[in-house]
Amino acid sequence: MTTVRTRFAPSPTGYMHIGGMRTALFNWLWARHNNGVFILRVDDTDRERNVEEALGPILQAFKWLGLDWDEGPEVGGPHGPYFQSERDDLYKAGVEKLLAEGKAYHDYDTPEQIKADREEAQKEKKQYINIRRSLELTEETRKQYEDEGRPSVVRFLIPRDQKVEINDEVRGHVEWDAGLISDPVIQRTDGSCLYNFATVVDDASMNITHVIRAEEHLSNTPTQVLLHQALGNTLPTFAHIPFVTAPGTTKKLSKRDLSKYKNNPNFKKMFDRADQVFPLIGLGDSETLNPVMVEYYERIGYLPAAVLNSLSRTGWSLDDKTEILSLDTVVKNFTLDRVVKNPAGLDPDKLFSFQGHWMGELSLDEKIDGCLPYLLKAGILNEAEAVSKRAFVGQVVESLGDRLKLFADILDVAYFFQDEIEYSEKDFKKRVAKEGVPELLTTYRERVAALDEFNAEQLEALLKGLCEEKEVSGGLLIHGLRISTTGSPVGPGLYDCLLLVGKENVLKRIDTAVARANSM
């Protein structure tokens, strides 16, 4: 029985696209479902790029999500090297084979000639197909061109008298008329080979059995099939999966459209959260890291389980009802016939729901471990305090309960760890500097100071008693107290907040707030 072998071949761009990671995940899932091999291969044919630096975020994305690779960078394997820039000899040997068998040819057409041909086709409203002038050159003319140093590319000679057919695992039977395909350049004038040819050579030499990729690559398939056939390769099975769309649209999710996404109601919260959190922990803002990148999710505190749950449900489903899926469950049930044909939208709300579920599966210690790095990076705690105040961090985490959706959410309650707090001018005027509130706060502060026991029951009894005595709404004092002691209009329950702030700080903060209100 043939071992299933899949591959993912990212270009080292310096970040891992969330849609690309979904494609990588489907390749990984199919390999793991079949006890096969998953290969990570790097398309680094851009020699100007610093591959090591640009590849780092991509490898980190795989490691963070726990998607291991059996062959590739850092692990090696029997079919290396796994960087396309190091495989030139294989590509050139493939080109020479096609040239020797008359299946490829040197094309001496100048850019000006090709441009004129394209314009003529456009004028006649015809599809452009290259004119094979170089095939009609005499040996004398060919030698003359070479003596003159006239550059030439190598083109693959498309057999235009046939159809190209595949049975795609997702799209079913697909066919193309080879007579409408222009001869592709497979080797540039400088001797380097193009991706469309290199990927065919690589897939064959690495014994790839299944090419699982996004549907925009479907247009590359007929040429690649013909190249496989010309080289005498065993044809892999193709599966073209739907591309990932931006939330609420039918357009492919793209980093080029970031400015639009910031106004997309389905996406805006994620960008706003990045702009709130990342500056605090030294990562710039949503221009630097954004929801198009896998790194965004790691840095803002999503769990791998939630992201994998979301990605696996983007274009694939176990059934119509099951939403929460562990990675083990998906591996066990993953088949290509369950992949849909239509574009699959990234759903931030559903992802956030998955995050809430998987966060709820963590132990208190795991939540503390996830929150501490944010307190450290934001300078709220130092290394020594992260140890000495671990139990207190646990109390804060417990007080947040289901409100702790992302690990970065711990930064929203920084007031529990700080001596001084900041007030929002708007909230302060609305809740504290309101007629009658400073007097209520002063009286409440005096009664709290006189308490022998500082606990939730006593604090609540004092508040209710004072409001009944003054014949005012409890909300008036509750909101005033919350802003005075935390600076935030939202958070854990008021009495949990007061206990975590501590009696001494509660008294100080009320004094500060009342003084400020009276001076306004």
Which pLDDT belongs to residue 402? Answer: 95
pLDDT in tens, 449-501: 999 999 999 999 999 999 999 999 999 999 999 999 999 999 999 999 999 99
Distance from C-alpha of 392 to C-alpha of 500, rounded to nearest angstrom: 8
Report the pLDDT value the prediction gives residue 222, as an integer from 0 to 100: 98
Question: Cα(123)–Cα(64) distance, rounded to whole angstroms?
Answer: 53
If pLDDT is split at 50, 70 and 90, which confidence band does 259 have? confident
Q: Is the pLDDT of residue 48 over 70?
A: no
**Mean predicted confidence (pLDDT) in 415-428:** 92
Considering the four listed CATH numbers 1.10.10.10, 2.60.40.2580, 1.10.1160.10, 3.90.245.10, the one that applies to the domain covering 255-416 is 1.10.1160.10
- Return the domain boundaries, the chain: 88-241, 255-416, 425-518
Task: Please give the pLDDT value at position 50.
Answer: 58
User: Is residue 95 over pLDDT 80?
Assistant: yes
Compute the mean pLDDT over every residue in the chain, rounded to the nearest whole number: 94
Secondary-structure class of domain 88-241 per CATH: alpha beta
CATH number of 425-518: 1.10.10.350
Residues 424-450 pLDDT 10s: 899 999 999 999 999 999 999 999 999
CA distance 355 to 336: 26
Please state the residue numbers annotated as binding site for ATP: 255
Phi, psi values for residue 107, rounded to 5°: -110, 120
- Residue 47 pLDDT class (50, 70, 90 cuts): low
pLDDT digits (tens, 9 = 90+) for 166-225: 999 999 999 999 999 999 999 999 999 998 999 999 999 999 999 999 999 999 999 999
Check pLDDT > 80 for residue 46: no
Q: Which two structure tokens, joined as six digits, stand for 147?
A: 């003596």
Report which listed range, 144-148, 225-229, 243-247, is most confident: 225-229
- Is residue 1 pLDDT above 90, yes or no? no
In angstroms, rounded to a whole number, what is the distance separating the alpha carbons of residues 40 and 9?
A: 6
Task: Output the pLDDT for position 256.
Answer: 87
pLDDT of residue 154: 98
Q: What is the mean pLDDT of residues 125-138?
A: 93
Position 366, amino acid = E
Give residue 394's pLDDT band: very low, low, confident or very high (50, 70, 90): very high
| Interatomic CA distance for residues 163 and 505, integer angstroms | 79
Closest CA to 493 of 419, 379, 398, 388: 398
In this predicted structure, what is the pLDDT of residue 163? 96
More confident residue, 32 or 452: 32
Residues designated catalytic: 260
- The least confident of 14-23, 155-164, 316-325, 509-518 is 316-325
| Residue 51 confidence (pLDDT) | 67
d(CA 379, CA 393): 15
Q: Where are the alpha helices (H) located in 248-301, listed in sequence order? A: 258-261, 268-277, 294-300
Give the long-range contacts of residues 409-414, CB within 8 A, separation 24 or more: 409/301, 410/371, 410/374, 410/375, 411/277, 411/280, 411/281, 411/374, 411/375, 411/378, 411/380, 412/488, 412/491, 413/486, 413/488, 413/491, 413/492, 414/375, 414/378, 414/380
